Each structure stands twice: as C-alpha cells, then as structure tokens.
Structure 1
Amino acid sequence: MSTGRPDILFPLFSGLETLAGVGPKTAKALGALHVEKPRDLLFTLPHSVVDRRRRDTLQGLGPGEIATVSVTVLRHQPPARKGLPYRVYVEDRQIAFQIVFFRGAPRWIEDQLPVGEQRLVSGKIEMYDGQYQMPHPDHILPPENAEDLPGFEPVYPLTAGVTQKVMAKAAEGALTRVPEMEEWVDPALKAREGWPDFSVALSQSHHPLSANEVSATSVARQRLAYDELFAHQITLALARSQVRRGKGYENHGNGRLQSKVLSALPYRPTGAQARAIDEIAADMAEPKRMNRLLMGDVGAGKTLVALMALLVAVEAGGQGAMMAPTEILARQHYKGLQELAAQAGVVLEILTGRDKGRVRADKLAALARGDIHILVGTHALFQDEVVFHDLRLAIIDEQHRFGVHQRLGLSKKGAAVDVLVMTATPIPRSLSLAQYGDMDVSILDEKPPGRTPIKTALSSTDRLDEVVNHLRGPISEGRQAYWVCPLVEESEVVDMIAAEERFKTLRAALGEGEVGLVHGQMPAEEKDRTMAAFSSGELSVLVATTVIEVGVDVPNASIMVIERAEHFGLAQLHQLRGRVGRGAAASTCLLLYKPPLTETGRRRLEILRETEDGFRIAEEDLAMRGAGDVLGTAQSGLPRFRVADLERQSALMALAQSDARKVLHDDPKLETERGRAVRVLLWLMGKDEAIRLISVG
C-alpha cells in the first residue's frame, strides 16, 4: 500500500498563492496565524458572527447596533471645508438618515452611492443630534449583489495585513478544494452524536447561521474537534503499539526482595501506592513491553513505587535504571533508595557526568558484568558507552519535558526494556491524554502517613523586613527554611542576580554562616556542597532559584518563603511548597507578592491557600491559563490544536483515545475500508510520522 500523501489531498497542500485573492504579501502575513497551506485555512474557524439579516428600517434601534437595510440615495453633501465629514442623505422604508464618511475620496463615494439609486448598506449605527447615522458602512451593495452578503457574517481571527474580506475569500477558496472522502468516524458514534459529514461540518463552521454555531458545543465544531483529537490519539496509539509490539521480557518478580523492603518500612504503603505497584508488576510480567506513566502529587510516595518496580526487574534476573533530569535530583534518588536497597541486599550505584577516569571505568565494567543491579543517574545513562548486562526496566523521572519520540528512543537501550515515566506534576486529565496518550497511567492521589499539613499564608513584599525578623525565632530553635527568589524573567542570568542580592541581604541579617545559595549557573560541585551543607543542618537558610522545585528532600526544613509568588505558575508554586512538610514539625509556606495583584493573580494565590490537592490545582491552572502555558509552550509533547479546546473538551479527548485504540486493535495496519479512511485523515492532519509508524510496523 502506498505510503505517500493521497492525490485527492494535493490541492489542500499547495501554496497559499494558488487561492484567489492571496498574493505573496498576504501569504506571508497569514504565517502569523500559523496558516501556511489551504488546509490550514479549513481549520482556522470564525470565532464570532455579525448579524447581517435584512430589516426594513433603523427605526427603534439603539446606538452601537449593527443594521442591514435597503436605502434610496437622496443627495450628497461634500464637506464645506477640510476636516469636516462627507454626508450622504438616504432613506429606508420609514425614516431618512445620513451615511457619514470621515475619510474617503469623493469620487469613490459618488460611485458607491449614486443619487436616486437603491443600495443595500450594512454597518454600526450611531445617534447624532437625535438623528440616525451610519458612519463608514461595512458593506455597500447594489440590489443585484445583495445575495453576496450572508445573513450571518463570520468573523475570523486576523493579523496585520489581512482583512476579514481577504480571510473569508481565502477560506471559501480552501473549502472548494475539500475532496470527497470516506468516513473515518465510527458510524454508531456519528449517529449517536448527530454529527454531520466532515465536509458538511467544515461548511457549517465557516458559514454559521447563528451565534450558537460558532460555539465549541455546536455539532459541526464537535465533529471537527473530534477529528483533530482522533488523529492525534491514533498517532499516540501507533507509537504505543510500536513499543508494545517489541517483544518484552516476562519479568516475573517473586516478591523476595520486595518483602524485605516492605518489612523494613515504618509504615504501610497507601492504597494508591499498593495499586500502582500491582499495576506495574502486572505490566512487567506480560510478554509485551510496559509503557506506563506514574503520576503522583507532591509527597505521594513515588520513590517507593519506583523501587518496588526496580526490584521486580532484579528478582526476574535483570537490572534496572533510574534517570533524573538533574544531578541534584539523581543524587537525591540515590540517597533515598540506598538505605532501602541495602535492606534487600541489592547493589545500587550512581553514575553522573562527574564520574571520571578510573572510577567511571570501574562502574561501567561492573554494570556490564551485571554486578550493579540498579543504576541511578542523569540522561548520561543513555550514552552509547554505558552498556548494561541485562537491562529490564528504565524509569525516567520528571520527564514532562520528554515528547513521545524521545520515549521511543529511550526504550531501545535494552533488548526489550519496560519503560516507566514518573512525574510529580499533576496534569489535568485532558492534558495527560494529549501528552501521554500513548501510555498507560497510574495515579498516586493519597499522601503517606506522617506528612504534616502545610499552612499557606500570603503577605505583601512591603513587609519583607518583618518576614526576615520572624525567621530568627524558628532558626534559633534549629529549624530550617528555603527562600525562593523571583522568576525575574526567563533568563537564568537575571534570576541568578536576584538570588545573589537576596543572599547578601539575608546573610547580613541572619549571620554569615547561616545562609547558603544555589542557582542554575553554579558549577555542579559547588551546588552539591551547598545542598549537602543544608541537608546536614550546617546551613539554616537556603536561598535558591527554582532549581529546588523538584525532589529536594530535607525533612527538617519546615519554612518555605517564595518571593514575588505572583510570577510563578500554580503548578510550580505547588511543587515548591511540597519541599516542606516532610518532617514532623508544623510547616509554613509564605507567598510574598507585590501589590497591587491582578484579579487572576489573587485567585491563583488564594487557590493555593485553600487546597493542597495537586490535581485540583492543576485543573484550576488549566482553566485560568490554558493548555500551552500549563505545560510550557516549549513542550515537545503537547500538540497545537486548531479546533479542539483541551480545557473544555476532555471528555471528547477520552472518547478519541478509546476509539483510536479500538481501531488499531481491530485493524493494526489500517487496511480495512475505515482503516484506509483513517490514513487519509492522518495525512490531512499532517501526522506524517504516524504513517511512517504504520509502514515500518
């Protein structure tokens, strides 16, 4: 079967200049709307409509309303002197009024509105001296062209150099190129939802007959949003089946090592932890490769679940690897896992970029022999020279920065490696389906016993001196505090300067040996030395940029001050707050903001004060900021949707996911009639990588 784009789609993928009314300048301007081909115009839908339905008269309308009436032109009144408007007196069926031009060539105005003739005019009306006026009508048409003006005129998104007229004409041109295509939507689903055919849905969306038809809930838009989400989920499902099709090891744990660790714990795992451990063990025992996401709220105990998964790999006779995004976090994992691994008699080692020469060579040799059971490290673990004896499980922590392609590449390290991705950033359901739809998901939504609630308070930066004075008490009692400096801008260097300034003022106020500093620009050794001094209690206050956002664990630290908290995202504030409340002492998080706060800024900080539930916080964050900002626009994993609305259509996303998985389960190579239609959809939506996955599969 051909793996090239179907011929019927070629007209939709030609240059924009092939459309009537689009020259090179307009084509370039449309790039700002991410419109590069006629196909893109199909999915650039109007966001509102203007009611242009005909009426007999302006009588009874209020200023600011838009009216479309048929008029007879009575007379012209050119301006008596420069700076005055040009007036044209007209009458509809009941009243006379003026059409007013504050600019425009007199000759053009005379041609448009010849005295004694009839014209259809449409525009916003105003009152002046008790008289109706229509300044600069949007449309002036002779009676024979009246049909050119729709009853409801679509309003498109615009950019510099592109008018509504140009946009409407270009979209119209693109619509004429939509070919006849077979249906890819399940017939039962289409009937149940009352969805129109694809081409009808496009036509209705571009020619709305009411304000309701431009809303996301209209059946035509629902249909198009589903098509977009379905194509995305097919792509993810193909990537998933690609991973799962690779023969996996059947990693059967016998529980021997796991039970040693569990019996050494001072508490029992939560129900959520036990459920996740069971789900992962069941996946690992299957002959297919595991591809699972473990999503846990701050402090929900992902480390224990990860260790249990690694022990399954070791019990089955293989090795496990755990990769963290930063060296600080890799060392933290190493420290956290070391004691528990020792209880089970398992050899755990760490490998980072800092291991050099003989030390590194010895570790690599031991790994290749199989003497190291579990290896922790940064992404350096996946360099070519790192060779495992028998890698069965790769765990990637905090990789919400990883797209599906990197995940596919990662699992190639071992012959049939199971992959577990962990994140402590709760992600709303719709986003996790968009981002991780190729994966199975386990969620940790309970806190282990012994974690103390955190009191969250708000304070203005005007009271900074008071805050510093308050710190003296807890510090003299041996407690420790984080002081996180503002995100001045997306620049490590500027953030570093802010952190260095705060470090100096706190050191002057609290004493030379009490305060340490870490930021992203420091050499790794220096950063680690400072972190170690804070962990061991030598330092009382750690001034930091957001490098401590994830995973840093100092149980004695019970105070978190976040300066200029209004600059941070909700999820990030929640992550930072989660660095305290890890010990027995009552913990406090103080959010310092610079007044006056915007309405949204205040709402964000108040949500944090109300709840510690990361999943609720993530949903609120999504509702307030939108999908792109919640995950960060540079996310490789998050696609841009033109029609679908991730904030409001998560149910549609879930439907698209289950449908996509079913289609591929029944027809893995997309060779049936519906399968071939799905291929056309993938080409139409620009999912070329998905087509390649089918052809190599």
Structure 2
Amino acid sequence: MPTAFAKKESLAAIDKKFASLGLLEDFDFVLHLPLRYEDETAVHRIGSLYPGQMAQVEGIVRKSEVQIRGRRQLVATIEDESGQLSLRWLHFYPSQIKAVEEGRLIRVRGEVRGGSFWGFEMVHPKVSRAGAPLSDRLTPVYPATEGLNQPQIRKAVNAALARVRLDDTLPEAIQKKYHLAPFADSIRLLHNPPKDADTQSLIEKTHPAWERVKFDELLAQQLAMSVARATRQNKKAYAMKGKGSGLVTRLLAQVGFALTPAQEKVSREILTDMKRSYPMQRLLQGDVGSGKTVVAAIAAAHAIDQGFQVAIMAPTEILAEQHYRKLSAWFEPLGIATGWLAGSLTPKKKQQAAALVADGVTQLVVGTQALIQQHVTFAKLGLMVVDEQHRFGVGQRLSLARKGEQETIAPHQLSMSATPIPRTLAMTFFADLDVSVIDALPPGRTPVVTKLFADSRRSELLAHVHDVILQGRQVYWVCPLVEESEALQLQTATDTFDRLQQELSGLRIGLLHGRLPTQEKTAVMTAFHRHELDLLVATTVIEVGVDVPNASLMIIEHAERFGLAQLHQLRGRVGRGQNESLCVLLYMAPLSSVATARLKAMYETQDGFEIARRDLEQRGPGEFLGLRQSGMALLRFADIDEDAPIAEQARDTAQDLQSVYPEAAAAHLQRWARQRADLLRM
C-alpha cells in the first residue's frame, strides 16, 4: 500500500506536469480545450471498415504471438462475424501480451490501415474490455505532456468544470447582435460533445461553440490593447515642447538630401507625439530602402536638443554598426557625442562606454542587446528607438523601456520595421500603437527585376555575374548555411566561396558570415563598401540595413529555403543606386507547393504589404511580434487571418463594452488576460 507521503508526492508531481502546460487555476483547465475527439459511442463491424477510419471493433482473439521481423513485435488477429482484423504493436509490455491472449473477447480502437492483399490492420490500438457500456458522448483528446495521460487530464478538467461558475461576461444585447452561443453551453459542449455533434465543424473550429470562444478571446485581446493605451497615457514622459537650438534643421543640412513628402509627414507625427506628456508608442513602417533611418535621426535630434539622451537598438551587430557609422557621421560634426555599445567590445571598452552613458556625456548611443545589460544605466533617457522591432523578443524590448523609467517617468519609444504589418495583425496585436507609414521610396531608387533560375542554369548565371562585375558593379551571393549539414544538404557559404574563387578567378571575392570575429566582419563589409571587393559571398547577416549603392545584382542560393519576408529583405539590398538591378532566386528542383508559392510571390510583386500578407498566411504572426523567440503563445484559439471578420466584431464590441458596460469589460478581461499584463508593454 502506498503511504500518504508517497501519494502526496505523486500528486505534487502531477501538479508540476499540469503547471508545465500552464494549468494552475480552475479556469486554466476550463480553457484547456480539446485538440480533437474520438468516437467511442459505437462498435463497428470489421467487414465495414475502410482505410483511414478511426474505428472501434469487438472480436475474439484468434491468434497472438511475439514475432521477430528485424525487431520484436506483438501481432494478433481478432475476428467478428463479418471478418478479421490484424493488430500490431512495435513497443509493448507483458500486460499487453496478456490482454490479447488467444480466445479472449476484446474491444480495440485505432486507425484502420492497409486494405491490399494483407487486409486491414491497426497499429498500436487501444485495448479495453468487450461489452463495457458505450459512451453517449464523443471522447475529447487534450493537449498533453510527457507523464500526463488523457484520463488524468479529463478528470482534472471535469473537476474544474464542476467547481467553477461559467457566468456569461457578455451582455445579452451583444450576444444577440452577433448571434453568439452562450459561453457556458459552448464550453461544456467543447469538452463533452454529444455523439450526434458535427465532428467536422468541431475539428475545423467552425462550430458555433468555437465561434463563441474565438470571439471571447479576440475581445479580451482588444480590451487588453485598449487598457494598454490608456495605461500608457496615464504615465508621464518628458514633454519635449521647446524649440531648442535648431539641431533638427542643422541635421537636415548635414545629411545632404531633401526629405520626401512621406518622410516629412511621419516626422511631423513623431515630433508631435514627443511633445506630449505621456510616452509615445509609435511604430514606423517603411518598405526596404524607404528612408526610416533619417526619420529616426530627426526624432533623436529633437530629443537631444531638449537635453535628453537617445538609445538606438538594432538586432544584429552589422546593422547596429551601420547605424552607428551613419548617425555618428551626421551628428559628430554638429557637436553631439555619440557612443557604441555591443557584445564584441572588450570588457574595458564596454565599461568605458557604459560610464559615459551613465554620466550623460554620451548623448546618442547605438548598440545591440548590450544596451539592456544590467550594468548599463542612463542619466536622462528621453527616447528609445528599436529597429527591426519584430526581431527582438518581448522581454528584450521591455528591458530597454525600463532602462529609461525613473519612478513614474518613461521614455518615448519609436519602433521601426521594414516588414509591413498586414491589416489583420495591425488590427489586433498592434491596436494600442500609433502607426506611421512611409509609403513612397526616395527618388533614385530603381525597381529590382526578379528572376527565377534553376540550379541547372548555374553556368549561364556565372557568365552574367562576370559581365556585371566587368561593368564596374558589385554582386551579393547569399547562402543559407555556413557549414555543411547532412540533413539539409545545402550549398554552404564557405563551399560557395571556394567554388566561386575557382569559377571566377581574377575577381576580388569576400566571405561574410555570423561566425566571423567582429573585426573581420567589419573589415570585409568596409572593403565591400569601398569597392575593394567585387563579389560578397554571405549568409543572411546582410539581410537588413546593409547599404552599398554600387551593388546591383543579388543572387540567393537555395531561395526555396528562405521565408518570404527574408527574401524581400535580401532583395532590398540592391536597387539602391542608379543602375538597373537584378535579384536572382536560385532554386533546386523539384519544389514543394509551399516553396513554389513563395517564389511565385517574389516574382509577382515588390509590394512589401502584399509580401507581408502572403508571409503571414504561410508562417503565422510570430515573426512580426517577436514572440517566437520567447516561446509565448499568440492566440490560442482564433486564427489571426482566417478569423479577421470575428476580430473586427471584437474590436467594435470592445469600444461598446467599455463605454456602456464597463463592469462587463473588466470581468471579461479578468477571465481571459490573467498573468499576461506585462505583454501589454510591447
């Protein structure tokens, strides 16, 4: 007999397993909804089975033995009055051998396979006692983890359902307006659907019960965004209203080119925000090469002119260093002290750079995640700029925001992204942000022609590369890996570099990848900038921010392995000068349907918003939000693209609920958004 202590220890272990699934309180279990359902309400005749069917049959075990066919396996045959069915287990225990002893009458459930000469079989079927009462409801199958079985989860969920009150948080008027099923009925049906329920609509999440759950989740998300905006507006920030010394005007004279109307418009929006006494939270969108950096520089100049520090954080050292070089070239001649902080600096140089920031000597600091290290403090941070914000995890962005918080005062925040946000994503996860869009490219940007090349045409491509370089222009050749991977069998950057040196002898070829020491990376990139190299073989470290106007040809090796947004970013590295530019997507046949759709999209459009929309369809919203790195779920039940109509209804309802039914709004948010409040600071 197990002791009370052993039982208690066992329960604690199970609770730990539940906690790993995020199941801590009763309502967590209530919202732990099934992935699918099994039909254990009927027994099928063996003679009526068909391949792919999930079926339950009863029969007498006619044969049972452990066979050696390369490996030990348990094989049995059961029979009813309509036919025979084979059963097979590749992994089994002595108890399973006993359960299928010859002569026993058993019930088995599993997926029907086969149907050729050898007949039907089930592999690893579930075995139970024949003649047991059949269920009158579909059996739910829940998300699980190692060490938790389905009966344990069902028992815990049903216990939670018995304890909680499933009050409806939505007023009756709203339920009627959108024809929503009652919340309690929806939840109970999803956990225990009757045997005559529409199984297909339950699996596809189109059942009215699922529609209600998705509406509630999206409504909570909209309410959370609204609360985030209100919370931000209740915070204090430095209101940068003063005219200053005219640093913005002097900066514009220093950069040496006129702003486009689109850049002027978004600059006005940003400076207006910075004059308010609550923190700006603005997202600056602009397609590749639209000129976001100079807009960020204008915002920085305004803040510095008011006596504040500015921090600019970029996701990679190459991009951060490029920002630093460009911004310091603009600001240093104006007497503004700029600083550089990155992981590659020696401990002594890091300490010196951090000390200058802490003392307020450095007015503008550019860096990578090194800016959010614990030892980095600011004297008076007034503005933080996060470039390619979706590449940082939520926690990283929060860390930089907190650097500038001094009691109740927070810095203004400008996020930048060259990945346009699709409408449905903007309507949901960015609903609390103000969005500025640079919707036109600066003059002089030439459209990039995109061509698809099969790897079999490589020699033709090499001849074109040679011609381009002889005309005085430069070439990027991008590869997806640095070292050989047997699993992927892709051409690597190092192998490509060696091969091209032989195939294009006499040309100056460089190699750039993320594993090079920082000084080497800088030296290679500088040489390419100065046209001391003709061709640069690189990995995706050059994906964002690299600006070499003389480079007019981009070749992407194994383009079928890249994401759409990544391909669009890489294509944006060319077309920055006066010469006609070409992006070659070099692929290895045969292509999967997904890869074909991806390359087709690149060939058909250069519109960043259309690219982003198609990328969202293919890969989901995690890349846009920077949540993929954190492992945090986005929406558990709703699909941000397919359920856009529900999201629109939820957005409208959130406004009505807050103005007319504030208590219901608070109750709804409490039910759905517990323990996730910090994400609202994104």
Q: TM-score, normalised by structure 1?
A: 0.75
The aligned counterpart of 1:328 is 318
Deviation at 1:603, TM superposition (A): 1.5
1:309 aligned partner, one-letter code:
A
C-alpha change, 1:560 and 1:674, in structure 2 (3 Å) is: closer
Whole-angstrom CA distance in 2 between matches of 1:102 and 1:382: 58
- 8 Å CA contact 1:237–1:664 kept in 2: the answer is no
Whole-angstrom CA distance in 2 between matches of 1:325 and 1:81: 60
Deviation at 1:450, TM superposition (A): 2.0
Match of 2:161 among 156, 162, 176: 176
- 8 Å CA contact 1:382–1:413 kept in 2: the answer is yes
SS of equivalent residue, structure 2 residue 274: helix
SS of equivalent residue, structure 1 residue 539: coil
1:524 aligns with 2:511: no
- 8 Å CA contact 2:473–2:552 kept in 1: the answer is yes
- 8 Å CA contact 1:42–1:171 kept in 2: the answer is no
Deviation at 1:606, TM superposition (A): 1.4
The aligned counterpart of 1:105 is 101
1:224 aligns with 2:213: yes
Deviation at 1:532, TM superposition (A): 1.0
Match of 2:567 among 555, 559, 573: 573
SS of equivalent residue, structure 2 residue 642: coil
The aligned counterpart of 2:293 is 303
The aligned counterpart of 2:178 is 193
TM alignment of 1:576-595, pairs within 5 A: 576-595=570-589
Map Cα deviations across residues 321-379 of structure 1 (whole Å, 9 max, x no partner). Answer: 32223332233223434565589x46362423477899989977876787765443334
C-alpha change, 1:59 and 1:601, in structure 2 (3 Å) is: closer
The aligned counterpart of 2:80 is 88
Deviation at 1:439, TM superposition (A): 3.1
1:204 aligns with 2:189: yes
C-alpha change, 1:496 and 1:549, in structure 2 (3 Å) is: farther
TM alignment of 1:216-295, pairs within 5 A: 216-232=205-221, 240-252=229-241, 254=243, 256-259=246-249, 266-271=257-262, 273-295=263-285
C-alpha change, 1:223 and 1:474, in structure 2 (3 Å) is: same
- 8 Å CA contact 1:428–1:619 kept in 2: the answer is yes
Whole-angstrom CA distance in 1 between matches of 2:232 and 2:667: 23
C-alpha change, 1:577 and 1:188, in structure 2 (3 Å) is: farther
SS of equivalent residue, structure 1 residue 482: strand
Whole-angstrom CA distance in 2 between matches of 1:27 and 1:605: 47
Whole-angstrom CA distance in 2 between matches of 1:635 and 1:440: 24
- 8 Å CA contact 1:621–1:630 kept in 2: the answer is no
- 8 Å CA contact 1:627–1:647 kept in 2: the answer is no
| Worse overlay, 316-325 or 611-620 | 316-325
1:548 aligns with 2:539: no
SS of equivalent residue, structure 2 residue 403: coil
Deviation at 1:251, TM superposition (A): 1.5
Deviation at 1:29, TM superposition (A): 8.7
Match of 1:401 among 391, 397, 411: 391
The aligned counterpart of 1:678 is 669
The aligned counterpart of 2:597 is 603
**Structure 2: unaligned runs, 5 residues or longer:** 1-6, 67-74, 89-99
Whole-angstrom CA distance in 1 between matches of 2:589 and 2:447: 28
The aligned counterpart of 1:45 is 33
Whole-angstrom CA distance in 1 between matches of 2:78 and 2:518: 73
C-alpha change, 1:265 and 1:688, in structure 2 (3 Å) is: closer
Whole-angstrom CA distance in 2 between matches of 1:313 and 1:547: 31
Whole-angstrom CA distance in 1 between matches of 2:122 and 2:512: 64
Deviation at 1:178, TM superposition (A): 5.2
2:217 aligned partner, one-letter code:
E
- 8 Å CA contact 1:233–1:437 kept in 2: the answer is yes
Q: TM-score, normalised by structure 2?
A: 0.77
C-alpha change, 1:406 and 1:429, in structure 2 (3 Å) is: farther
Identity of aligned residues (%): 35
Alpha-carbon RMSD: 5.0
SS of equivalent residue, structure 1 residue 459: strand
Deviation at 1:505, TM superposition (A): 2.2
C-alpha change, 1:554 and 1:230, in structure 2 (3 Å) is: same
C-alpha change, 1:217 and 1:316, in structure 2 (3 Å) is: farther
C-alpha change, 1:387 and 1:172, in structure 2 (3 Å) is: closer
SS of equivalent residue, structure 1 residue 411: helix
2:260 aligned partner, one-letter code:
P
Whole-angstrom CA distance in 2 between matches of 1:446 and 1:47: 45
The aligned counterpart of 2:466 is 472
Whole-angstrom CA distance in 1 between matches of 2:279 and 2:102: 76
The aligned counterpart of 2:418 is 424
1:538 aligns with 2:546: no
**Structure 1: unaligned runs, 5 residues or longer:** 1-16, 90-96, 114-120
Match of 1:514 among 508, 511, 518: 508
- 8 Å CA contact 2:247–2:301 kept in 1: the answer is yes
Map Cα deviations across residues 648-669 of structure 1 (whole Å, 9 max, x no partner). Answer: 22454566567668877999xx
1:642 aligns with 2:645: no
- 8 Å CA contact 1:561–1:592 kept in 2: the answer is yes
1:487 aligns with 2:481: yes
Whole-angstrom CA distance in 2 between matches of 1:538 and 1:502: 20
Map Cα deviations across residues 289-311 of structure 1 (whole Å, 9 max, x no partner). Answer: 11222222211221122122223
